[in-house]
């Protein structure tokens, strides 16, 4: 039996992941914006976030969150960190027990400093949680360029069972049971990416960029290990430098 997937979030990355998943499993995408839903269903395009990119016929969108969540065997969260908790609260009333919940979101909740998987565990206790993270640019994936990502969950059996849902063609998905390390890698690299961008804006060269990224990765690794992650995790795809 093929798992039914519900994806919450109609931005560029949520739409991209939904398009990839549609090759492997039935999927419904929820977006709050009615124009985005209409654009996906009628024009086969997310004009707001991915203009000019054709979407697969199997991908359908709706603004009925209850319908998407109630049907889901796997729930994927593709909403920004600032609205993550609110959408989880909406989904909570419709989600069946034990349905895995996978986060696509890189960031921390501003008020609490919690990771997105910690929010899932708080709002939806008892559900297996995971993250999909990697050096992925939505438009490149949608135009067929090769990319790699990491699906991380603490339960190795569950993560391997879900890997085929996301793995497709030139979008290669690896697995990792270091959930904390993978999620932190995706969060902490943004700090270094901002520093690199500031260097570019100030006219710094490739030497400066390389130094910032090299030393930044060392700092991320030390912090991640101190917080409970595995050092080798930060040498893989989870830091996601391309995002």
- The residue out of 177, 207, 223 marking a domain boundary is 177
Q: Would you say residue 202 lies in a domain?
A: yes
| Sheet order of strands, 74-77 included | 60-62, 27-30, 5-8, 74-77, 101-103, 129-133, 147-153, 171-176
Q: Would you say residue 241 lies in a domain?
A: no
Q: Would you call 48 a catalytic residue per the annotation?
A: no
Average pLDDT over residues 16-45: 97
pLDDT tens digits, one per residue of 120-159: 999 999 999 999 998 889 999 999 999 999 999 999 999 9
172 and 191 in a single domain? The answer is no
59 and 76 in a single domain? The answer is yes
Confidence class for position 236, pLDDT limits 50, 70, 90: confident
201 and 89 in a single domain? The answer is no
Three-point CA angle 97, 179, 224, nearest 5°: 150
Burial level of 69, CB count in 10 A (0-12/13-18/19+)?
buried
Domain count of the chain?
2
133 and 203 in a single domain? The answer is no
**129: which strand partners?**
101
pLDDT tens digits, one per residue of 181-235: 999 998 898 889 899 999 989 999 999 999 999 999 999 999 999 999 999 998 8
Q: Would you say residue 240 lies in a domain?
A: no
Q: Is the pTM of the predicted complex or chain greater than 0.85?
A: yes
Burial level of 175, CB count in 10 A (0-12/13-18/19+)?
middle
Catalytic-labelled residue, pool 4, 106, 114, 189: 189
Q: Whole-angstrom Cα distance, residue 66 to residue 183?
A: 27
Closest CA to 239 of 166, 196, 181, 173: 181
Provide the domain limits for residue 223.
184-235
132 and 35 in a single domain? The answer is yes
57 and 145 in a single domain? The answer is yes
Q: Would you say residue 226 lies in a domain?
A: yes
81 and 123 in a single domain? The answer is yes
DSSP state of 115: B
Question: In this structure, what CATH number is given to the domain that contains residue 108?
Answer: 3.40.50.720
Return the pLDDT at 172. 95
Q: Would you say residue 243 lies in a domain?
A: no
49 and 141 in a single domain? The answer is yes
Collect all residues with Cβ–Cβ distance below 8 Å to 101 and sequence separation of at least 6.
75, 76, 77, 95, 120, 124, 127, 128, 129, 130
144 and 204 in a single domain? The answer is no
71 and 13 in a single domain? The answer is yes
17 and 82 in a single domain? The answer is yes
């Amino acid at each position: 039996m093929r798992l039914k997937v519900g994806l919450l979030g109609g931005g560029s990355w949520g739409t991209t992941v939904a398009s990839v998943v549609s090759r492997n499993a039935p999927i419904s995408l929820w977006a709050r914006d009615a124009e985005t839903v209409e654009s996906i269903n009628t024009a086969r395009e997310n004009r707001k976030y991915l203009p000019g990119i054709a979407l697969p016929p199997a991908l359908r969108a709706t603004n009925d969150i209850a319908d998407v969540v109630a049907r889901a065997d796997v729930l994927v969260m593709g909403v920004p960190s600032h609205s993550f908790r609110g959408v989880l609260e909406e989904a909570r009333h419709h989600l069946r027990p034990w349905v895995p919940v996978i986060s696509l979101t890189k960031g921390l909740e501003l008020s609490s400093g919690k990771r997105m998987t910690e929010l899932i565990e708080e709002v939806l206790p008892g559900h297996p949680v995971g993250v999909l993270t990697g050096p992925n640019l939505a438009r490149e994936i949608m135009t067929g360029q090769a990319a790699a990502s990491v699906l991380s969950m603490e339960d190795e059996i569950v993560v391997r069972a879900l890997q085929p849902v996301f793995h497709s063609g030139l979008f290669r998905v690896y697995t990792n049971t270091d959930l904390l390390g993978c999620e932190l890698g995706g969060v902490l690299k943004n700090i270094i990416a901002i520093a690199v961008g500031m260097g570019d804006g100030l006219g710094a060269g490739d030497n400066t960029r390389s130094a910032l990224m090299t030393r930044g990765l060392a700092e991320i690794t030390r912090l991640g290990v101190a917080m409970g992650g595995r050092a080798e995790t930060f040498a893989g795809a989870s830091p996601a430098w391309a995002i």
